[in-house]
Amino acid sequence: MFERLVKAIVEMREEEAMASVKELLDKREDPLKIMEQSKKAVEIVGARFEKGEYFLPELIMAGHMLTEISNRVKPVLSKGLEVKRIGKVVMGTVEGDVHDIGKNIVNFLLDANGFEVIDIGIDVPAEKFVQVIRDFSPQVVGLSGLLTLAYDSMKKTVQAIERAGLRNKVKIIIGGGQVNDTIKEYAGADAYGKDAMAGVLLVKQWMGVK
Amino acid sequence: MKKRWTEVEADVSDRQEKQFAAWLSGVGISFENSEAENAYKERIGLLKDAIQLIKPPRRVPVCPSPGFFPIQYAGSTVHEAMYDYEALAQIWTKYCNDFAPDAYNAPTTIVPGTVIDLLDLTLYKWPGHGVSKELPYQFVEGEYMKAEEYQDLIDDPSGYFLRVYFPRIFNSLKPFERMPVFPLIHEMIFVPSGLAPFGMPELQKALHNIMEAASEATRWAMRMRALNSSIMGKGCPSFSGGASKAPFDVVGDSLRGTAGVMMDMYRHPDELQEACERLTPFMVRAGVSSGKANNHSLIFIPLHKGADGFMSDKQFQTFYWPTLKKVIIGLVNAGLVPLLFAEGGYNSRLEVISDLPKGMTVWWFDSTDMVRAKKAVGRVACIAGNVPLPLLCAGTEDETKKYCKRLIDSVGRDGGFILSTGAGMEGAKPGNVKAMIDFSKEYGV
């Protein structure tokens, strides 16, 4: 039964996935287990994305299916789903830039890989990043941006984090359509992720996850 | 239904020559002197040679994409450039005078702010309207067409835009929802009832709004026409004479949105494909009519959601490429040259996109591996690109020259190459822009 659910999610058969969730709930199977298995399926989707077998459509479909399943299962869940988290990442699009497709994909993959993601949105001023780092003590901070104006905003943000005395408490990764190693140096970040997966792998390395 | 745009017609080479001749003639441009006229024609000649792949041009043409760069270079703001047409004209003139590219992009992308204000567009944030005055306008990602509406779009694309999409994206045109069903108005007895909606004060007000916006757009267009004529009169041709889009991007960019269109490949695959087919004639017509009206050969087609990573090769070949190819063939058959700007990486698409008639298109790359692109696409098309923005914005002049040298040495020596930037070069250091253009003109001989 659970195998059917996992397979349906992994192979992008949305209707079948939802039907098997309904069937499992009707049979009074443990809702917690339904969520766990669904998450497991999403992890497999993430792994296929890493291998270049899956692309954006599959990631977005998997995210969508997981939300739908969670909406069905939550009302009957007696206690919250406890997830082991391997680390905290603060993610935001830097000041002046309102693009977030890239950031949202990275967030989704980080979540699927067991990280707690604190998404602080778009057009985020440097001071806001500093505040959130103080409040949540993440190990990693991700700065996203599509436009070239993001270069200066990233630099300003890194400087603000430094001035606040927090620079050695966090690793900073940058990413976006027009970002590369030159901009990593320019902004004073620790790394840049060429694409969503490269970013997630770097974060995993930093946290000592294989 | 007639099968269209699947085959290249027999006399396309003649048609292309004729269109190039129309562009080259410079009819309507008052050149400052014969030197300017010669420079204009020589530069078009460089582009023509690079495109046709018959003989290498005398030197590599250098045509960067300015983006918002001329605005910051002139010390102005995007807000001023969008609202003060005179300022915009000066900004663009200064850019062309100071940098002397082999072709310039007309500032049609610096849209008139007042027009957008009058229509109250919801698709974007623009300076003073969601972003601060010095920032560029930015697209607001969203689902502007619902998945349930595919059939309406397929049944009647223009009707859908008029009655559903416009009211949604232009707050000032909300009463367009009341537009009548036009094909019924074809017998005398249907005329009075057909006209009824136009009698309503709300729709009349909305029509008035669009007329007001259009009059403002005309004022802007006339100023831009004068500007373009003055820049060309000094010897610099424009890099494109019109624009079109890949049908998939029409759906994915501002109808269904990124998340929507990506899921539609699984949830509504047939409707998505049919919608792309239905939009194809509009995209062919848009490119052909603008190219013909402007006596220009090149039609700019910015490509967005078919890049590496967005979808698998199979999805690209199923959903993205078939209708884009039709648009390309449609333009080629009209004697035009599609200028396909592949933003992001296109490394996994190179073989597929090489299935085109030789010497009829330009593929302009951003972060694609240019050596691989040359090997695959270079067999059938001129390639353009790809000085990276990070380099122009944060690198040195020496590094910029080095990059241009490597580019020319590796893909530009035997023709079929236009040196350009990877994308619109906002934020670039003026010294780097100058270094890129001057060095490449000199070295690319």
Q: What is the CATH number of the domain that holds A192?
A: 3.40.50.280
Q: Which residue in the set B267, B311, B426 is minimally distant from A55, CB to CB?
A: B311
3-state helix, strand, coil in chain A (%, to 5): 60, 15, 30
Q: Tell me, what's the pLDDT at B1?
A: 62
Is residue A81 a part of any domain in this protein?
no
One-letter amino acid of B83: Y
> In chain A, what residues touch B423 (CB-CB under 8 Å)?
178
Q: Judge if pTM exceeds 0.90.
A: yes
The verdict on A32 and A97 lying in the same domain is: no
Tell whether B310 lies on the interface with A, counting CB pairs under 8 A.
yes
The verdict on A199 and A96 lying in the same domain is: yes
A186 vs B259: CB contact, 8 Å cut-off? no
Q: Tell me, what's the pLDDT at A82?
A: 67
The verdict on A120 and A202 lying in the same domain is: yes
Q: Tell me, what's the pLDDT at A85?
A: 86
> In chain B, what residues touch A100 (CB-CB under 8 Å)?
141
Among B276, B341, B334, B332, which Cα is nearest to B307's?
B341
Task: Please give the interface size between A and B, counted as residue pairs whose CB atoms are below 8 Å apart.
Answer: 85
Quick one: DSSP state of residue B121? B
Pairwise CA distance, residues B68 & B443, whole Å: 27
Sheet with B130-131, side-by-side order of all strands: B130-131, B124-127, B138-139
Of A31, A48, A76, the one marking the end of a domain is A76
Tell whether A61 lies on the interface with B, counting CB pairs under 8 A.
yes
Tell whether A25 lies on the interface with B, counting CB pairs under 8 A.
no
Q: How far is CA B362 from the centre of its chain?
A: 13
Q: Residues 383 to 442 of B: which have CB under 8 A from any A CB?
A: 388-391, 393-395, 422-423, 425-428
The verdict on A47 and A66 lying in the same domain is: yes
Q: Which CATH class is domain B1-65+239-445?
A: alpha beta
Burial of A66 (C-beta count, 10 Å sphere; 0-12/13-18/19+) = buried
Can you read off the two tokens belonging to residue B339?
């200028």
What end-to-end distance do the CA atoms of chain B give, in Å? 50
> In chain B, what residues touch A185 (CB-CB under 8 Å)?
394
Q: Tell me, what's the pLDDT at B294?
A: 95
Tell whether A56 lies on the interface with B, counting CB pairs under 8 A.
yes
Q: Tell me, what's the pLDDT at A81?
A: 64
Q: Tell me, what's the pLDDT at A1?
A: 83
Tell whether A99 lies on the interface with B, counting CB pairs under 8 A.
yes
pLDDT band at A197 (very low <50, low <70, confident <90, very high): confident
- pLDDT reading at A210 higher than 70: no
Quick one: DSSP state of residue B295? T
Tell whether B135 lies on the interface with A, counting CB pairs under 8 A.
yes
Is residue A93 a part of any domain in this protein?
yes
B262: nearest CA in chain A? Answer: A57
Tell whether B253 lies on the interface with A, counting CB pairs under 8 A.
no
The verdict on A199 and A123 lying in the same domain is: yes
Q: Where are the domains of chain B?
A: 1-65+239-445, 112-234
Tens-digit pLDDT profile for residues A80-125: 666 778 899 999 999 999 898 889 989 988 988 889 999 999 999 9
Tell whether A136 lies on the interface with B, counting CB pairs under 8 A.
no
Q: How far is CA B356 from the centre of its chain?
A: 20
Tell whether A100 lies on the interface with B, counting CB pairs under 8 A.
yes
The verdict on A7 and A38 lying in the same domain is: yes
Tens-digit pLDDT profile for residues B329-361: 999 999 999 999 999 999 999 999 999 999 999
Is residue A10 a part of any domain in this protein?
yes
Tens-digit pLDDT profile for residues A147-195: 999 999 999 999 999 999 999 999 999 999 889 999 999 999 999 998 8
Burial of B433 (C-beta count, 10 Å sphere; 0-12/13-18/19+) = buried
A104: nearest CA in chain B? Answer: B259
Of A76, A104, A130, the one marking the end of a domain is A76
Torsion angle, alpha carbons of B214, B217, B218, B219, to 10? 130
What's the structural domain count of chain A? 2
Q: Tell me, what's the pLDDT at B65?
A: 97
Which pairing describes strands B138-139 and B124-127: parallel, antiparallel, or unpaired? antiparallel
A183 vs B390: CB contact, 8 Å cut-off? yes
A151 vs B427: CB contact, 8 Å cut-off? yes
> In chain A, what residues touch B266 (CB-CB under 8 Å)?
12, 14, 57, 61
pLDDT band at A75 (very low <50, low <70, confident <90, very high): confident
Q: Which domain holds residue A48?
A: 2-76
Of A28, A53, A76, the one marking the end of a domain is A76
The verdict on A141 and A188 lying in the same domain is: yes
Is residue A136 a part of any domain in this protein?
yes
- The CA distance from B81 to the nearest CA of chain A, in Å, is 17
Q: How far is CA B121 from the centre of its chain?
A: 20
One-letter amino acid of B127: P
The verdict on A68 and A122 lying in the same domain is: no
The verdict on A117 and A42 lying in the same domain is: no
Q: Tell me, what's the pLDDT at A177?
A: 84
Write out the DSSP string of B336-359: -EEEEEE-S--GGGHHHHT-S-TT
The verdict on A115 and A159 lying in the same domain is: yes
Chunked mean pLDDT (size 10), chain B, 445 residues: 86 97 94 97 98 97 97 97 98 98 96 97 95 92 97 98 98 97 94 95 97 98 96 97 97 96 98 98 98 97 95 97 98 98 96 97 97 98 96 97 98 97 95 98 95
Cβ–Cβ < 8 Å for B439, B81: no
Instruction: Name the strand (E) or helix (H) holding A203.
Output: helix A196-206
ipTM: 0.90
Is residue A82 a part of any domain in this protein?
no
CATH of the domain at A49: 1.10.1240.10
> In chain B, what residues touch A200 (CB-CB under 8 Å)?
none
